[in-house]
Every structure is written in structure tokens, then in C-alpha cells.
Amino acid sequence: MAAYPGMSMGEAHRRITEYLNRFSDAVSNQDAASLRFLLSLSSNSPFLLSLADALNIFQDSGRLIKHSDHYSQYSDILFNLFRSLQTYRLGNLFDSYQAFEKSANAFIQEFRNWESAWALEALYALAYEIRVLAERADRDLASNGKSPEKLKAAGSFLMKVFGVLAGKGPKRVGALYVTCQLFKVYFKLGTVHLCRSVIRSIETARIFDFEEFPKRDKVTYMYYTGRLEVFNENFPAADNKLSYALTHCNPRREANIRMILKYLIPVKLSIGILPKDWLLEKYNLVEYRDVVQALRRGDLRLLRRALQEHEDRFLRSGVFLVLEKLELQVYQRLVKKIYIIQKQKDPTKAHQVKLEVIVKALKWLEMDMDVDEVECIMSILIYKNLVKGYFAHKSKVVVLSKQDPFPKLNGKPVNS
Amino acid sequence: MQHHSHLVHRVWEQQMYHKITMAMHHTLILLIHMVMELQDTRVTIIAIRSSSSSSLTILAISSSLTTPAISRNLTTPAISSSLITPAISSSLIIPAISSSLIPATSSSLIPATSSSTLTLPIHNLWEHIKTQTAGGYPSSGYSNQTTTWSDGSYANYTPHQYANYTPDSSTSAYSSGTVTAPSSHYQQQQYKQWADYYSQTEVSCAPGTENMTVASKSNVGCPIPGVSSGYSTSTSQAPPSYTPSWMPESSSSEFSSVQPAAGISSASDAYWQHGAPSSQIHITSPMQPQSQKPLDPKTTYDSFLDQQKAAYSQGHNLQYPATHQVPQSYQSPANQQVPQSYQSPAQIVPSSDTRRVSKLQIPTNPRIASNLTFGLPKTDKDSSTAGAAVKPAYISVSQPKANEKVLSNDAADSMLKPGTFPKSLRGYVERALVRCKGDMQMEACQDFMKEMITKATADGTLYTRDWDTEPLFPLPNVDAVNKDLQSSTPGSSLPKYKRSPSRRSKSRWEPLPEEKFVDKSASVMSDTMKYGGWINANDKDRKPFFGNNGNKENNMSGMKFSPLDQKNASKNAQRPVKKQRYADGFNVADNCDASSDSDKEQSLTAYYSSAITLANTPEEKKRRENRSKRFEKRQGRTESNQFKPKNAGAGNLYSRRASALVLSKTFEDGAARAVEDIDWDSLTVKGTCQEIEKRYLRLTSAPDPASVRPEEVLEKALDMVHNSQKNYLYKCDQLKSIRQDLTVQRIRNWLTVKVYETHARLALEVGDLFEYNQCQSQLKTLYAEGIEGCHMEFSAYNLLCVILHSNNYRDLLSSMSRLSDEAKKDETVKHALAVRAAVTSENYVMFFRLYKTAPYLSTCLMDLYVEKMRYKAVSCMSRSYRPTIPVSYVAQVLGFITARPRNEGSDEKDSDGLGECVDWLKAHGACLIADNNGEMQLDTKASCASLFVPEPEDAVAHGDANLAVNDFLTRTSL
């Protein structure tokens, strides 16, 4: 009691009843915005914070809820919500999450019974809150040496919410939002494989056209599925999805654009499309600058350095292996350069590139590779159709095709 | 000659008998024999079920004449039938009987006519049944079961047969039946249809069965009444001619074939042929109580009871039809005589038995239905024609024959399934019989041989023994044999056969060795299969099943089934069996009993004797008691089951463990806790075992300190494993036991790490990725706890493992991102990372260089990827090189040659490697040519299209070539 000297018992009571009234009004008026506000625990709005204080003073809020017919039907929601608020205010995120999940469960029970989808906004808030709360609770748990498991629980709760929305009907519009929350959970947990079932239900359902989902959700969805395609090394698909996200996202949200570009650029690079420098500068993606440079110049050393330098970052974002595979394109560029130089010297013999020349070029780049290794790389280049021609083992010469010896990728991935 | 053939048949029969027993246990029932004897009259119904579509077929219903000879013959079948019956659903039999018999009842009671003969027994039977049912069980129980069953079975029948019939006149009979039946509505309708059908076609049995199947509830009873009406007319006409016609036939050669199947004992056969009166037999037959010369009521009743149990305990279906029918039979004047005497006892009976019956019912139903459809039509035809008075005699004769033959066929079939009944055996039997003088001796001989064959069958030596050289047994002293027989079977004249029925029923419900039959189920199944196939084929052909055709076939003996039939059979085989199983499983209590039964290993003989005693009332009482105690028993059993394996294992293998187990057992007993619930904290033991060597046995209970080795001993054990010359499986076993002891004592220190590292390395060496992964994951947590070890080495292994074997992009990323800077400087880890780079870039030159320089056991991990890499490399090379590549270069680049070719002093190795490379290339479809200098070249252009990955030579079904059979055997023998 002493902790909240500014509030009297009467004041606390008044605030609680005010909240209860606003809640029941929002429900009866189908005012999703107000409801959303009332449920947004982590918004730290002064109204909710003072309510939390009031709840800590006036301990018997349960009786208040049960007292009135207006609220008693929502007692499961409200009671647990109050407890969640209370503990949230006290910094006990674990308990807060627990209570919030119960409250949210009760809420979706109600939501199920509402025929129209008016409360979707409120449900979004719920889905968001539960994820954020779970993340914070997990952080707490981890710092206390306990195993963080709340995010996992949030994942399964969200799956339940998804089930409520995914059916036929007006509520389906909300499914994609929940899906995106689920993606966030799964990506954080590293259980990306769990995304598959949700994706399937979104993409295979004929009852709802994907384009009818809110744009915001579509962008998020495309972003995450694009990232999944990067994991799968399915670059054309990743390109499609990430490009969709980029073209449809809010152009003023630079952070979002950056996030998309972080994956889109490696994808584009791997299919032979290089970004302009200003783009990298504008969105602060300088870690890619050297990579792009290396590709332009055929500078293997630069590529390797860049990869080494940003290895941690690339590994964490999951593009390391994508970038590493650019090596072949760098080799291609290198051979092409040699070819161009030879052509300038003697156009008739330009299409025969001696292996020792390439080895020498690599030496200049401080790449210590012997003939066998380079031969192998040339063989791979030809095999993957980055170089047209053949390798003559006896004479150790790469014989280039006279027509288009270095085919451009033009948006197609390297053959694998 | 007849005798000989008899014997042969006998042999078959025996086998069949054997099968049947097995079948009973398994609820795969091949045959149903039912013989009812009343005084002089006897009706034999032989039902054989075909399993084609999970259904039984009643092949023949034979009504026999009053003549004693016939009765004799019949009796034997009866016995056999009784054996079979329990296993087979009694319901089958009844409907069949009812159809044929009921008409008789209505028509006349007189024994002289075949029809009349039929009636008496039937009535009695029905009465019994009825009474039982009435007393019986809650109907709810039935319905459930029935429904489950109904699905599969009726589907088949309904379509063809029913469609045409219009609801009809003969319904009157029904109404009475319906009253008893729980699901009156449905049934009535069906009845009508059936009745109509019957009246038209004069099919007696089939309809009833059909109904049963169709209606999920107890439909069985209903159809029968309808049938009866149709039947009665036919029967009444036929009667006079019956008896005489039959007789002649029986003596004929055809009969002999029949005999084995139907008649179990030689004596019976003899009777049959000679027409000797068989008074003794009566006792056995269920119908006896009804007999006009009533013995003292009590005894009859008892015997009746026993028999009923034997016959019916399993099939409730019987009872149902009974119920329906009984009312009818009552109405008819003929019945009245018998029924009264009966009823009182019968009513008493039901309560005890009914329950059993009800359970069983379900399984039987489907079959019955099937039986009726397939098998019955023929019968009907026959009977109808017969009834029509064309050739009544013939028909009557043919029917029984057919049935019996079928039986014999079946038996033969079952035997033949695996192969044929050995010819040599037949020869042997014939030789033995030739010596005999007189029937008595012959009988004795036959008995003797029967036993021999049974034994041989049981031993499995039936087919392996050389019967041609087998010495003939000394001719038995007939008297002695007789004595033996009598003494062994106190209550009955036909000891063995009699036993079998009771045995069945017992096996079903009482704790008896069921397991024995399990392994034989296969043969039973096959038998069933054949049968089903046969029937199906017949059905297709629309040939009467046991009409003339049938006879012909039968005469040829069972083996002569046409190949087509067999094929069909085999196709059909599996389903019915499954269903049966299901049915078995349906009743949980039953299962429980069965499993517990298996615990008691009783010899067959014991089995028999118990069965015999069963027939006596006191025994029966006991049984009842047992039944009532079943629940208690089951509890006890489950307990014993739980501990048995443990104890057994302990006793056999580890005497010391045994004590531990006992300890733990007491613990468990006291607390009644599951293993998972055991509080391991409180059980953390301090081992006291000083033995260094210990086999791994997965703990199923709390460990016993006496069998756990303390740390210092474990250290020695680890050293021992290190220094051991034995194979990996031994070491693996030892290491696992060390790991277990460590875990149990919660030792997590350098030793633990060392043990896991040792094990992981050993596993890597032999490519046992499963064990390796276990160790690796343990090591991960151990290292995470800060325990010193070869952390780097193992993170390198982990990396390699992910790169080379999981091939998962995300896993690779995460394990790469988890590497510490320190780790990245480690040589092993560096190597692993380099390997990863080589693999992702498909740089084969790099890969095989790293392969050659791999530190520690990285080589082993890479080994597992070499083949893949080589193939990739060769396909790459053949695409990009033109026109050729020297094989020597390929060999060098792909790691076939360990040293560089230019190195001196390695020529031998090189040539070896070169040869290996050539072999490998050839195995993968590469085109090799020799150039002008005679050097082998890879023709790249040609190879480009012809490369393929060959099937691994050492591929094994279980996917792990390391678990070779020999190793496995050595392991088990450890």
C-alpha cells in the first residue's frame, strides 16, 4: 500500500470500474479500437499503468468483476487480464504472461462466438501482446537460468488463434496477421520448419484470395516466406517474394526496407543482378559493398575478405552460404577479364585461355592455388554453364566457345 | 483299399483337426461341423467356412437317416464339429441347421423320414439356444459387437442374392422369432424378403445368414423362420426315399473319402460302413438330452450343458437364431415332446454361459453371413430339388458327402498348404494298414498312426521324415488299445474327439496355452485362404458348391484344387484373417485371458485331459468359478507378466542383475509406481560392483548398487575397452554399460567426457552414426558444463557431420555461427570448415586433398561422403573435359591414389589405386578407352550420358551395413 501513496482506495476502485465499463462498452458497441487499447498491455499507456497500480491497491477486483452483470460474462478475460497487468507492473513477466495467456484464451472463446469479425483489431493486439510478453518472459527466464519456454507456448497459442481465423468466413482476413506473428515466433525460436503448415494453409486455400489480405500482412508474409526460400536456396522464389515485399511495403519505413534488402540483395547477386552503390549506402547495407565490388571486378580476394569480415553477421542473417557461392561468379568474371585482355592482344587466339594464365592471375590476387585446383574450378565453371567451352586436359587450356563464352545469368540461378 | 483310403483321409483329418485347434485359438475357423443326434435321427451339418471375404461358408448341410450306420458316421463328424464349433461361431451352424431342419419340424416329427429326423434334434438344439439367450446377456453388449463386425462381411452378400425378393407370405413364422429378437423392425423386413426368397428358391440356410450379416444386431434368428416355411414343403415330400438311398451310397467308395474328413475315429468309420449302431456316441452329441429314451434327467442335462458349451460357447450367433427359431419350433406339435424336458435345464444354464457367448458373437457374425451366401445356395438347390421329390435319396446322400468331402479337402488343404501331404506318408499308412487283420486291429493301427502323425506334425518332422524308410510299428494289441482309450477318456466313448470340442471352448475362455497355436496360424490362414478361393471360384462359376461338381472335385482329394482357385484363395487370404484377429482383439477381457493363458505352458496332453474332465459337471463348476474370478486373476497375471521378462532375463544372463531387479521389483510393488515415476534423485546409487566387465542392459527399474560399478572400476573398465582386441560391438556394449553406470551414479566429469569421446570415436571408426550422434549430443552438454575434453575435435566432427550427412542449410548455418573464435583457429575445425567450403563449392580437388590430410577421425566422417563426391566430380569432369581425361589423373584427383603420381617409390600403390579407379569408373558407367600410348582415358563425351550411380553392393535391408548378420550373431552370443 505504501508503494502507491498517490492513490487512495477509492481512487483505485474508481479506476478499476472505469476500465471495466470501458471494456464492456467497447464490446457492446463493437468498438474494436477501444478494445484494442484496453488489451494492449505493453503499450505502457498511462491509463493501463495507473490501472495496474490501482489493482495492486485494490486487491479484490475479482469481486468487482463478478458483481456486475455487464462484466461477469467476461470474468475469465478480465480477471486474468487484471492479474497480468498487476504482475506486469510489478515486473513479474513470467506470471504476467501466464495470466495473459489465460485471458487471451478466454477472449478467443468469446471471439469465436461473435459472428462478425469486428473484434479482429483487438485480436491482433492480443496476438501481438502475447508474443511480445512471451519474448520478455523468456528473457527473464533465461537470465534466471531457467529454460525459456514461453515463446514456444505463445507459438502454440497463436496456432490456436490461427485455427479460429483460418476457416471460411469474414474472420479469415485476420489469419495472415496471426501467421506473421507465428513466423516471428518461429524464426526467433529457430523452428522454421513449423512455418510450413501455416504456409500451406494460407497458400493452398482456395476460399480466400491472398490479395484480399491486408497489405501490411502480405508484405510481412512475403518477407518471411522469402527468407524461408533463401534457406531453401530457392533463389528465384526468394527473389519473387522479397521483391513483392519491397514493392508493396511502406516506402517510408526504411527499417523495413532495409530488412528486406538484407535478403534481397544476396538473392539478386546470386542470380547475377548487382545493386547500385547508392542503394547500399542509403539503407546502410555497406557490408555488401565489397561483395558487389568483388563481383564486378572478379576479385576473389576481396570477396573472401568481405566474407571473413562480416562472417558473423552473414551467418546470423543466414546469407553467408549464399554469398559464398558467389565465388563462382567471381571466377567467371576473372576469366572473362583475361579473355577480354587476350582479345585485345590477339583476337584469333582469345578463345584459348591457358590455365597457367589463370593461375598467375590468381597469384596476383594472393590466392595460392595450384594447377589442379584451378583446373577443377574451370571444370566446375564449365559444368555449371558459367563458361561455355571445354577444358583440354592435355594442353591445360580452357577452350572457350566463340559465341557468348560467358553467358549472363539474367535472373536465373547458377546451375547446381 | 477302402481302409487305406480311410487312413489317408484320417491323416488329413488329423491335420485338419490340428489346424482346427489352432484355428480356434486364433479365431480362424476353417470348418464347422455340427452333428445333432437325437435317438436315431441325426442331422449332420458340416459347415466349412471360407475366408475369402472374411466369411464362412457352410458347405453342406446333411440330414442323415435314422439308420444306425448313418448315425455312426454322423457322429464322428459331430465330434469333430463340436471341436470346431467353439472356434467357429456357433451362429453359422445354427442358421444352416435351422434352415434345413426347421422345415422338417413343421412338416413332421417322425423319425423315419429324413425330415422328421432332423426336426427333433433341431428343436432341442434350438431350445437350448433359446433358453440360453433368454437367460442371457444384456442385449446392449451384443449390439455393439455386432455392429463392428457387420461392416465388412455383409457388403459382399447382399447385392446379388437379395435384390429380387419381394416381401412375402412366409412371414408368419417370423413373427414369433422376431419377438425375441431385439431389433425387430429391421429383421422383420429382411425376413420377409428372405422368406420369399426361400420359398422361391427353396434355399434353406442361406437367407438366415444373410440377414444376420446385414443387420448389425442379432438378425440371425429371423431369417431362419422364413426359410423354414419354404423348406418344410420340400422336406415333407422327400422323406420316404431318403433313408434307403443314403445307405447304398455310404458304403460306396466315395464315402471313404468322406469319412476321413467327417469321421474322426476309425471306429466311426467302421460304423458308418457297416451300419453298426452307435449307442455310445449319443452321449457325446449335444442333442442327447432330447432323446426319447431319456436317461436320468440330470445327467442328460449336464452332458447337454457341457456339450453346448463346447459347441456354442464361442458363437453367440447360434443363440440368436435359436431364439427366433425356438418359438416356432414350439408351436409345431412335434417339438412339444422334447422341448419340455429340455427347457427347465436349459434355462438354468444360460446365465452362466451366455456372457461368454455374447462376447464371441461378433467375430462369428461376418463369417456366418459369408458362409451362407456362398455355401448355402448350393445346399438349397440340392435340398429343394430333393424336396421336390425328384431324387430325394440322391440329394440327401450327396449333401453329406459333399460336406464331408469338403472337410477332407479342407484338411488336406491345410496340410498341403506348406507342401502336399507327403506321398511317402500315404504309402506308409497304406503299408501299415495292409498288415491289419480285422477291423479292430485296423482301428488300433489307425489310432496309432494318427498319433504318430500328430506327433510328427507337432514336431515339424512330418515333411522331413523319410516315411518310405520309416519302420512299421508293431501291430497293436487291440484290447490294450481299447483299454487305453477308455481309460483315457472316462466319460466318453470317443475320447479324443470329444475332448477337442471342449478343449476349444476352454481354450477360448479359460487359461490354456494359446500361444502354441499362434505360430501355426500361418498355416491356418493359408488353409482358410484356399478355401475362400475355392468357394469364390465356385461362386463365380455359379456351380453348386457341393453338387455333383463338388463331388468330383472332392473325390480327387483336396490337393487337386485347380490352380485358379488357389490363386483366388491366396488373394483373398489376408483380409478375413485380419478381421478375425480384430474380432479377437475386440474383447479386451478375452485378450487378457488369452495372453495370460499363454503364460501357462501346458503340454498338449495336459490340455486334452483337462478338456476331458471339463465335460464333467464338477469341472464345469470350476470353470464357472474361474470365470467369475477372472478379474482377480487378470490382475495377478498382469503383475506376473510385468515381472516375468525381467526375472527371466536376469536369471538367464546376469545373475547379479537378478537380485537388483528383485530389489527394484519390491520397490515397485510397494509403491506401485511406473518406472518413469521413480524418483531418480533418491535412487542415485553408489555402485559397489567390482567387476570390470559388464554387459549393457537397458534399465527397466531402479538400479541395484550391487550391479553398478563405482568410478574407479569404471575407469578400469574404460581402459579395458581401450585395450580390448574385441570387435566394435563388444566395445560398444561395454561402453554403453559404462555410460549407464555413470549416468545412474550421476557422475559427470572428465571420465564421463572420456567415455563419451571414446565411444564417439569408436563409433566413427566403424561409421556407426547412430551411436556417434548420441555421444555427440551428450558431449555437447558436457563441454557446455565446462568439463575439459577434446572439445575442438568434436566440434569439428559435429561440423563435418552436419555438412556431409544432414545437408541442411540451416543446421549448417547455426552450427557455423555457434563456433567460437577460438574454435575457428583450431586445426581440426579449420579442416572441417575447409571441407565444408569444398563441399558447398563442389570443389572435388580440394575435397580429396582435405580427405587425405584429415586429422583424427575426420577421415571416417569424410569416408561416408567420398562416393557421392566422386560421382559428382566425374559427372562434372565428363561434362567439361574434352575429348578425354587420363584415368590416372582422375584417380589422382579423386583420391584413389594416395600419393601424387610423380612421387617416387609409390608406383605399386599407384597402380593399385589406378586399378581401383578403373573399376570404380566402370561400375559407374564411364566409358574408358586406351589412347595410342596404351594409357587409359576417360571418354568424356560418351561418359557424359552413360554415368549412373550403381546400387551399393553392400546394401542391407535395414540400411546399416555395419549391422551385418555375423556381427549381430556374435553380439548376441556375447
Q: Note which residues in 367-386 of chain A have CB less than 8 A from chain B.
A: 372-373, 375-383
Residue B957: the pLDDT is: 60
Mean residue pLDDT across chain A: 87
Query: Which residue spans within B276-399 are E strands per DSSP?
Result: none
- Put simply, the answer to whether A392 touches B882 (Cβ < 8 Å) is yes
CA–CA separation, B104 and B119 (whole Å): 5
Q: What is the CATH number of the domain that holds A344?
A: 1.10.10.10
B510-514, B676-680, B848-852: the lowest-pLDDT one: B510-514
Of residues B620 and B270, the one with the higher pLDDT is: B620
CB atoms under 10 Å from CB of B688, counted, come to 13
Q: Is residue A356 scored above 80 in pLDDT?
A: yes
The alpha carbon torsion through B689, B690, B695, B701 (nearest 10 deg) reads 10
Interface test with B, best of A188, A227, A376 (most B CBs within 10 A): A376
Q: Is A354 helix (H, G, I), strand (E, B) or coil?
A: strand
Residue A129, domain member (yes or no): yes
Q: B701: pLDDT confidence band, cut at 50, 70 and 90?
A: confident
| Residue B442: closest CA among B246, B273, B582 | B273
Residues in chain B: 974
Nearest-by-CA chain B residue for A400: B880
> How far is the CA of B5 from the CAs of B263, B270, B413, B428, in angstroms?
13, 13, 16, 12
Last residue of a domain, one of A166, A192, A211: A166
pTM comes to 0.52
CA–CA separation, B840 and B860 (whole Å): 19
CA–CA separation, A276 and A292 (whole Å): 9
Q: Is residue A304 scored above 70 in pLDDT?
A: yes
> How far is the CA of B376 from the CAs of A135, B317, B761, in angstroms?
73, 17, 70
Percent of chain A past pLDDT 70, that is, above it, reads 97
Q: Where are the alpha helices (DSSP H) in B263-296?
A: 266-274, 279-284
What is the secondary structure of B381-445 as a DSSP string?
HHHHHHHTTSSHHHHHHHHHHHHHHHHHHHHHHHHHTTS---HHHHHHHHHHHHT--HHHHHHHH
Residue A161, domain member (yes or no): yes
Q: Is A187 on the interface with B (CB under 8 A)?
A: no
Q: A268: pLDDT confidence band, cut at 50, 70 and 90?
A: very high
CA–CA separation, B435 and A27 (whole Å): 103
Q: In chain B, which residues have their Cβ closer than 8 Å to the Cβ of A324?
A: 837, 840-841
Facing B886 at nearest CB: one of A233, A376, A393: A393
Interface test with B, best of A232, A393, A414 (most B CBs within 10 A): A393
Residue A146, domain member (yes or no): yes
Strand order in A397-400's β-sheet? A352-354, A397-400, A389-392
Judge whether B187 and B219 are in contact, CB under 8 Å. yes
Judge whether B167 and B194 are in contact, CB under 8 Å. no
- Put simply, the answer to whether A318 touches B810 (Cβ < 8 Å) is yes
Q: In chain B, which residues have their Cβ closer than 8 Å to the Cβ of A372?
A: 845, 893
Q: A182: pLDDT confidence band, cut at 50, 70 and 90?
A: very high
As given in the structure block, the three cell numbers for residue B410 are: 479342407
Q: What angle do CA B189, B195, B199 make, to 5 degrees?
A: 155
| Residue A114: closest CA among A191, A35, A3 | A35
CA–CA separation, B270 and B251 (whole Å): 10
- Put simply, the answer to whether A376 touches B882 (Cβ < 8 Å) is no
Half-sphere exposure for A270 (CA within 13 Å, toward CB): 23
State the average pLDDT over residues A227-237.
Answer: 89
Q: What angle do CA B180, B583, B506 make, to 5 degrees?
A: 80
Q: Is residue A190 scored above 70 in pLDDT?
A: yes
Domain hosting A390: range is 335-400
Q: Is residue B95 scored above 50 in pLDDT?
A: no
Residue A306: the pLDDT is: 93
> How far is the CA of B710 from the CAs of B685, B714, B715, B749, in angstroms?
9, 6, 9, 13
A385-399, B420-434, B527-541, B813-827: the lowest-pLDDT one: B527-541
Peptide bond into B883 cis (omega under 30): yes
ipTM of predicted complex: 0.83
The pLDDT tens digits of the residues spanning B55-92 come to: 333 333 343 333 343 334 333 333 333 333 333 333 33
Residue B93: the pLDDT is: 38
> How far is the CA of B282 from the CAs of B64, B291, B333, B345, in angstroms?
14, 9, 24, 19
Q: In chain A, which residues have their Cβ closer than 8 Å to the Cβ of B810?
A: 190, 192, 231, 318
Instruction: Output phi, psi for A389, to 5 deg.
Output: 145, -160
CA–CA separation, B183 and B180 (whole Å): 9
| Residue A105: closest CA among A68, A149, A153, A141 | A153
Residue with cell 421329390: B389
Q: Is residue A183 scored above 90 in pLDDT?
A: yes
Residue with cell 453359422: B92
Residue B420: the pLDDT is: 53
Residue with cell 448350393: B378
Nearest-by-CA chain A residue for B809: A231
The pLDDT tens digits of the residues spanning A106-139 come to: 888 888 888 787 888 888 998 999 999 999 998 8
Nearest Cα of chain A lies from the Cα of B923 at a distance, in angstroms, of 22
Highest-scoring range by mean pLDDT, A172-176, A241-245, B612-616, B621-625: A241-245
Q: In chain A, which residues have their Cβ closer than 8 Å to the Cβ of B843?
A: 373, 376-377, 380
Q: Is A399 on the interface with B (CB under 8 A)?
A: yes
Residue A196, domain member (yes or no): no
Residue B447: the pLDDT is: 76
CA–CA separation, A7 and A57 (whole Å): 8
**Amino acid letter for position A105:** N
CA–CA separation, B453 and B425 (whole Å): 9
Residue A136, domain member (yes or no): yes
Residue A294, domain member (yes or no): no
Q: Is residue B834 scored above 80 in pLDDT?
A: yes
Strand partners, B42: B37, B64
Interface test with A, best of B781, B881, B900, B936 (most A CBs within 10 A): B881
DSSP state at residue B558: G
Judge whether B4 and B444 are in contact, CB under 8 Å. no
| Angle of the B750-766 helix axis to the B791-801 helix axis, nearest 10 | 40
State the average pLDDT over residues B669-694.
Answer: 63
CA–CA separation, A175 and A212 (whole Å): 11
Nearest Cα of chain B lies from the Cα of A33 at a distance, in angstroms, of 40
Percent of chain B past pLDDT 90, that is, above it, reads 1
Of residues A304 and B663, the one with the higher pLDDT is: A304
Query: Which residue spans within B813-883 are E strands per DSSP?
Result: none
Q: In chain B, which residues have their Cβ closer than 8 Å to the Cβ of A383?
A: 875-876, 879-880
| Residue A257: closest CA among A248, A266, A270 | A248
Last residue of a domain, one of A128, A146, A166: A166
Q: Is B543 helix (H, G, I), strand (E, B) or coil?
A: coil
| Residue B267: closest CA among B39, B38, B482 | B482
> How far is the CA of B277 from the CAs of A134, B43, B76, B293, in angstroms?
91, 16, 13, 15
Judge whether B796 and B858 are in contact, CB under 8 Å. yes
Determine whether A276 is exposed, middle or buried from the number of CB atoms within 10 Å of its CB (0-12, 13-18, 19+).
Answer: exposed
Radius of gyration (C-alpha) of chain A in whole angstroms = 29
Q: Is B630 helix (H, G, I), strand (E, B) or coil?
A: helix
Residues in chain A: 416
CA–CA separation, B346 and A136 (whole Å): 77
Q: Is residue B221 scored above 50 in pLDDT?
A: no
CA–CA separation, B311 and B24 (whole Å): 12
Residue B457: the pLDDT is: 73
Q: Is A234 helix (H, G, I), strand (E, B) or coil?
A: coil
**Amino acid letter for position B671:** A
Facing A379 at nearest CB: one of B846, B876, B886: B876
Interface test with B, best of A232, A267, A372 (most B CBs within 10 A): A372
Instruction: Output phi, psi for B31, to 5 deg.
Output: -130, 150
Q: In chain A, which residues have their Cβ closer than 8 Å to the Cβ of B886?
A: 393
Nearest Cα of chain B lies from the Cα of A372 at a distance, in angstroms, of 7
CA–CA separation, B107 and B124 (whole Å): 16
Domain count, chain A: 2
As given in the structure block, the three cell numbers for residue B906 are: 609409390
- Put simply, the answer to whether B880 touches A391 (Cβ < 8 Å) is yes
CB atoms under 10 Å from CB of B498, counted, come to 30
Facing B885 at nearest CB: one of A232, A372, A393: A393
Mean residue pLDDT across chain B: 55
| Residue B546: closest CA among B366, B385, B321, B368 | B385
| Residues 6 or more apart whose Cβ sits within 8 Å of residue A236 | A271, A411, A412, A413
Residue B720: the pLDDT is: 87
State the average pLDDT over residues B143-159.
Answer: 38
Residue A242: the pLDDT is: 94
Q: Is residue B542 scored above 70 in pLDDT?
A: no
Judge whether B42 and B36 are in contact, CB under 8 Å. yes
Judge whether A412 and A239 are in contact, CB under 8 Å. no
**Amino acid letter for position B821:** D
Residue A215, domain member (yes or no): no
- Put simply, the answer to whether A376 touches B840 (Cβ < 8 Å) is no
Nearest Cα of chain A lies from the Cα of B864 at a distance, in angstroms, of 22
The alpha carbon torsion through B886, B889, B891, B895 (nearest 10 deg) reads -160
Strand partners, B46: B33, B60
Residue with cell 479359460: B510
Residue A66, domain member (yes or no): yes
Q: B857: pLDDT confidence band, cut at 50, 70 and 90?
A: confident
Task: Count Cβ–Cβ pairs < 8 Å, chain A vs chain B.
Answer: 70
| Residue B553: closest CA among B412, B668, B443 | B412
The pLDDT tens digits of the residues spanning B465-487 come to: 666 666 666 665 544 444 444 44
